[in-house]
Amino acid sequence: MQNNNRISELIKSKVSLAPMAGITDYVLRSIVRKYSQECLLTTEMISSEFLVQNVETEITKLDTSHHPIAYQICGHKPHLMNYSSKYLSQFADILDINMGCPVKKVVTGQDGCALMRNPSLAADLVKAVKDGTDKPVSVKFRLGYTADEMNYVEFGQKMQEAGAEFITIHARTRSQFYAGSADWSKIKILKQNIDIPVFANGDVVSIDSAIECLDKSNADGIAIGRGILGDPTLIHRIEHYLKTGEKLPSPTLEEKLNIMKLHLDEEIKLRGEKIAIKFFRKFYPYYITGIRNASKIRGVLVLEENYNKIIEYIEYIKKENLKYENCLI
């Protein structure tokens, strides 16, 4: 990690868990930590406006094993960001500011990637967060708002000048959302123009794509979001390759289904059975991707509300796919 002792002391891994709203909750962070003991975890995005009114929120739930962890906050009002910084400092190792979320309701509210169109306000937010904490402050942003507004180099420089000690950049514009391909080569230009560590984000879904991203971006590390959906072991497997040169295999079908069951069980402990089963529907497609008759299986799982029947069906999937695999031998 370049030229930043505080960050290098905190972040020992070249791979981190990127924040995803409604996804990287306490449970998923715990499962990722089960496989990777060193990666930087990041919470879901926490609205500073929401936090002022709801300090007792599930999003702030923390386990001691989660360290090192960044708590990500969003907002456009310096005084609320300062309050959030002060409150979250009791949990966080790093305070991360979201300036990259492309979702319409977020940017319409002047938060997220909308801040890339107002670098002066963005800098004031970094200063306000720094004034509220003695922890390092980081910023996550994109290449720009549109292809004609790619101001990521100047924006990164301004964030560094305001006091940011660490940057994560998603290599798409806001107008792209998640379409097309992440342009990792652009990150190399940012790296050449700032002195603080940079993690690359976007389209890292495997060990091979991680290698390619690091090569093209020259980044200090990579932040993985959607790539871990259905495979919480990915961060560990990339870390292992970067340390040893050995490519560990992806989880088998049985292993993926066992992780899925663990994930569901832990969500039930956190939220209660009825709420957790509905909440978990979004995860089924990722865990069963590549399974024979995946579409049919997904249809059954998302409609089922009885826990015992879900578990029975998971065991049925294991047996049926094992039979199919044996027929191919």
pLDDT of the residue at 273: 97
Which CATH number among 1.10.1200.80, 3.20.20.70, 3.40.47.10, 1.10.10.10 corresponds to the domain 253-328? 1.10.1200.80
Question: What's the distance, Cα to Cα, between the start and end of the chain in Å?
Answer: 47
User: What is the separation of C-alpha 134 from the centre of its chain, rounded to a whole number of angstroms?
Assistant: 23
Measured CA to CA, the distance from residue 299 to residue 296 in angstroms comes to: 5
The 10s digit of each residue's pLDDT in 229-287 is 999 999 999 999 999 999 999 999 999 999 999 999 999 999 999 999 999 999 999 99
What per-residue confidence (pLDDT) applies to 328? 40
What pLDDT score was predicted for residue 299?
Answer: 94
Q: What is the pLDDT of residue 1?
A: 52
Is residue 101 flagged as an active site residue? yes
Query: For residue 60, what pLDDT is reported?
Result: 79
pLDDT of 324 reads 52
pLDDT (0 to 100) of residue 72: 97
Q: Measuring CA to CA, how many Å separate 286 from each of 30, 100, 112, 256?
A: 18, 24, 26, 10
Question: Omega of the bond prior to 251 within 30 degrees of 0, cis?
Answer: no
pTM: 0.94
Q: Where are the domains of the chain?
A: 5-244, 253-328
pLDDT tens digits for range 123-147: 999 999 999 999 999 999 999 999 9
- Strand 15-17 relative to strand 221-224, pairing: parallel
CB 78 within 8 A of CB 124: yes
SS3 state of residue 18: coil
- Name the average pLDDT for the chain: 94
Residue with tokens 């879900």: 310
> Which superfamily, per CATH, for 5-244?
Aldolase class I (3.20.20.70)
User: What pairs with residue 166 in β-bridges?
Assistant: 138
Residue type, 191: K
- Please name the residue that has the structure tokens 């994930």: 263
Which residue among the candidates 101, 113, 213, 327 is catalytic per the annotation? 101
Report the length, in residues, of the chain: 329
Q: Which residues of the chain have pLDDT under 50?
A: 3, 327-329
**Are the C-beta atoms of residues 234 and 206 closer than 8 Å to each other?**
yes
